[in-house]
């Protein structure tokens, strides 16, 4: 799926995935456009790297969604419940799930093979 949406993205010249739109608008300032956390916040909060393939708060959909909805009081991570619609939180949760795959330096093999 990530490969297909990347192709779409390139073709349209902008994010078509609602999760990606939310991420770039609300999250990239701290987590970086690629989720690697290479930002001013990330410099002092290495745990803001969402693309390393390790999530301290859990890597299943429900765990990721929970930290996005509730935030982490005591860290800069804000709570988005009430600031984003439930559908937007779902979409950006799926986008975060895909970040490690997207952050790979080389495209997935199926992306290189024309069908
Ligand atoms: C003001 C900076 C900031 C913004 C904006 C922000 N985050 Fe975070 N986020 C952080 C920091 C710092 C952490 C690490 C704190 C922690 O893991 O407890 C974090 C943690 C997380 C985690 C958990 C990481 C783990 O290791 O389990 C997820 C998932 C996450 N953010 C997603 C998002 C999403 C999605 C958005 C946008 C809707 C967003 N964040 C917006 C700063 C931010």
Tell me, what's the pLDDT at 101?
87
Q: Residue 110 has what pLDDT?
A: 67
Which of the residues in the chain have pLDDT under 70? 1-14, 105-115
pLDDT given at position 103 = 76
Q: Where exactly are the structural domains of the chain?
A: 2-106
pLDDT, residue 4, reads 56
For the segment 41-63, what is each residue's pLDDT rounded down to a tens digit? 999 999 999 999 899 999 999 99
Q: What is the CA radius of gyration of the chain?
A: 14
Task: Give the residue whose CA is nearest to atom 5 of ligand 1.
Answer: 27
Give me 4's structure tokens. 């297909």
**DSSP helix/strand/coil, 38:** coil
| Measured distance CA(49)–CA(33) in Å, rounded | 11
C-alpha 113 to ligand 1 mean position (Å): 34
What was the pLDDT predicted at 112?
61
Q: Which residues are CB-contacts of 15 (< 8 A; sequence separation ≥ 6)?
A: 9, 21, 24
pLDDT of residue 109: 64
Residue bearing the CA closest to ligand 1, atom 29: 64
Q: Could you identify the atom of ligand 1 that is nearest to the CA of residue 75?
A: 15
Ligand 1 binding pocket mutation candidate from 36, 48, 79 (most atoms within 8 A of CB): 48
Domain 2-106, architecture per CATH: Orthogonal Bundle (1.10)
Closest residue by Cα to atom 41, ligand 1, is: 27
């Amino acid at each position: 799926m990530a490969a297909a949406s990347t192709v779409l993205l390139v073709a349209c010249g902008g994010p078509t995935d609602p999760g990606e739109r939310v991420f770039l608008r609300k999250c990239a300032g701290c987590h970086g456009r690629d989720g690697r956390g290479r930002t001013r916040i990330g410099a002092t909060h290495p745990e803001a790297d969402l693309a390393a393939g390790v999530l301290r708060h859990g890597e299943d959909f429900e765990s990721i969604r929970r930290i996005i909805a509730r935030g982490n009081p005591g860290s800069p991570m804000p709570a988005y419940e009430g600031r984003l619609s439930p559908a937007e939180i779902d979409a950006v949760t799926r986008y975060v799930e895909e970040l490690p795959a997207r952050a790979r330096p080389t495209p997935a093999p199926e992306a290189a093979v024309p069908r």
